[in-house]
């Protein structure tokens, strides 16, 4: 009786079940540029968790954790750091706090990913 495949119970190892649950709960590390990784790691160590993107007549800077991460004033460098901010936003790791594109805050997911990074 009840020999049909439908009624057969698959036995699962409890370790397999636990591993499957852990993997489904663990955030994955998105494919981020080196600059985006550095920026996220630094922002996670900032006391307020903020990233400031500043444009002045004197140039462009990206500041967090007491550091200006922009090393020179070239258009290429500016594009790289703006791309890093955009990448972090697109992955939901930071968010625009004032909706002006100047002050960003790290999200819960951002902190989780930052803990897994080793830039």
The CATH number for 87's domain is 1.10.10
In a domain, 18, yes or no: no
How many separate domains does the chain show? Answer: 1
In a domain, 22, yes or no: no
Instruction: Check whether 66 has a pLDDT greater than 80.
Output: yes
Residue 2 φ/ψ region, left for φ over 0, alpha for ψ in the -120 to 50 degree band, beta for the rest: left
| Cβ atoms 94, 51 nearer than 8 A | yes
The reported pTM is 0.76
Coil/strand/helix, residue 36? helix
Domain span holding position 108: 30-116
> In this predicted model, what pLDDT tens digit does every residue of 5-57 receive, in sequence order?
666 666 556 666 656 655 555 567 788 999 999 999 999 999 999 999 999 88
């Amino acid at each position: 009786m009840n020999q049909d495949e439908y009624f057969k119970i698959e036995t699962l190892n409890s370790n397999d079940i636990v591993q499957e649950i852990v993997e489904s709960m663990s955030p994955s590390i998105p494919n981020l540029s080196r600059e985006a990784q550095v920026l996220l790691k630094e922002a996670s160590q900032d006391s307020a968790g903020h990233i400031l993107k500043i444009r002045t007549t004197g140039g462009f800077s990206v500041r967090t954790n007491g550091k200006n991460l922009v090393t020179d004033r070239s258009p290429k460098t500016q594009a790289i750091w703006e791309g890093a901010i955009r990448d972090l936003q697109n992955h939901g790791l930071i968010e625009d706090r004032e909706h002006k594109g100047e002050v960003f805050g790290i999200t819960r997911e951002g902190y989780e990913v930052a803990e897994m990074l080793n830039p």
